[in-house]
Amino acid sequence: MRVWLVNQYAGVRQTGFGKELKKRGHEVLIWRSNFRIRPGDFLGKKYLLWHDTIQSGIPLRAIATCGYRRNDLKRAFNMFQFTFHFALVALFSKKPDVILGSSPHLPAAWLACMLAKLFHIPFIAEIRDLWPESLIQISNNNRSLLFKILGWMEKSLYKNSKSILALTRGIENGIRKKVTSPEKVLFLPNGVSLAEVPVTPPPDNWRRELSLDDQFVCLYAGAVGPNNALDLAVKAAKRLEKQNVSIIILGDGPAKESLVALAGDLECTNMYFIPWVERHETFTYMMNADALLLLFLDIPVAEGAIPNKLQNYLASCKPIICAGRGEAADIVNEAQGGVVIPPGNLEKLVETILWLKDNPDKCKDLSRQGRSYVEKYFNQDKLAVSFVDLVESLKENGSCNF
């Protein structure tokens, strides 16, 4: 069986699915953009319409797109460019037996769905966010033509999908309310390849290089966007300046410039910004920090979000400070892997950091419990087995046997 996995930003999840498919004797091809947001470079030759390569032993087809740095028109053009170029190349490629289309944005997933319909094969939709609902809540605008088009695409995508994978319970519940066959909506979260994350932290010199050996270090690792509420971390750093506490933001993104400016305005001496590093290095930073920050805006759509970093945090054997409510907060509480506080509450954030700093034994308990939870519920290898079981059932009998 030939399977296409279509995701403009395909990474560890698609590779994990691909490895399990290959193990069972299936042929797999991952489709993604040739532009990598981080570190901001291109796979293969920049101007080739497509470029075939191998990623972790799995065939990958990189589709030509432009690069971008901010959430602006250039990023929008990048999305539609991927969609158009993907369609163009796919029409002249060897026909698959099943297509999975992922929705970091709707147009590419919708077009993958239309190709599956054209090929008369099963289509699986992977929904990573409730489009366009999330955009409407963030922008507070539901009247634009763009949102109406995205809403139409969403309905079409759900209607024509044989199965729909939701990455969070909130997304699952939201889609079930919108479809006529709720039984085809399935929960399959992101996971962690535990082989990447040993229980014992690997040795690293970054704390010594930053003169942080005697500091309690709180780390945020991930995209630095306006939805990550990282201004709260900068303000907390200022409040903790004389408490032997330092805060690090590891990563890049459109909000980084303003956060650096805020730290400068506040004259923070214990706030550090480190550029994006490769995935294995990110784990090294996380595992050698003292606590990990997971911050959310106080908006309804954030309550249904489970960012990838949560599973990575839990696997890293460090306590999590989650400033939010909803699904991610529920997981931190259920795992007993950290402390949950209200979103946007600076006083509580400062208080929690100091409490963890003064209770090292409690930090160890939270770390151990978080790791046990991710091993049980977010093991990428087990999730990949569930995905391939679904693909095989769809091909064999056209039903969702999951």
Q: How far is CA 300 from CA 27, 134, 384, in A?
A: 40, 9, 30
Question: Residue 230's closest CA among 238, 220, 239?
Answer: 220
CB 236 within 8 A of CB 356: no
Q: β-pairing, 35-36 with 291-295?
A: unpaired
| CATH classification of the domain holding 137 | 3.40.50.2000
pLDDT confidence tier of residue 143, bands split at 50, 70 and 90: low
Query: Is 68's pLDDT higher than 90?
Result: no
Q: Judge if 198 and 162 occupy the same domain.
A: no
Q: Is 124 contained in some domain? A: yes
At residue 354, φ and ψ (nearest 5 deg) are -65, -35
Q: Tens digit of pLDDT for each residue in 194-208?
A: 988 888 887 788 999
Q: Comparing C-alpha atoms, which of 366, 323, 320, 327 is closest to residue 348?
A: 323
Question: Tens of pLDDT along 358-394?
Answer: 999 999 999 999 999 999 999 999 999 999 999 999 8
Taking residues 276-305, report their average pLDDT. Answer: 91
Dihedral of the CA atoms 88, 93, 99, 101 (nearest 10)?
-30
Q: 399: helix, coil or strand?
A: coil
> Which domain covers residue 127, as residue numbers?
2-191+379-397
Residue 14 lies in a domain: yes
Q: Is residue 46 part of a domain?
A: yes
Q: For residue 131, what pLDDT is reported?
A: 66
Q: What span, in angstroms and rounded, lies between the C-alpha atoms of 316 and 221?
A: 12
Q: Which residues contact 351 (CB under 8 A, 6 or more apart)?
A: none
Count the domains in the chain: 2
Burial 300-319 (b: 16+ CB within 10 A, else e): ebbbbbbbbbbbbbbbbbbb
144 and 259 share one domain: no
Q: In this structure, how many other beta carbons lie within 10 angstroms of the beta carbon of residue 273?
A: 16
pLDDT at 329 over 80: yes
- Check whether residue 13 and residue 31 sit in a common domain: yes
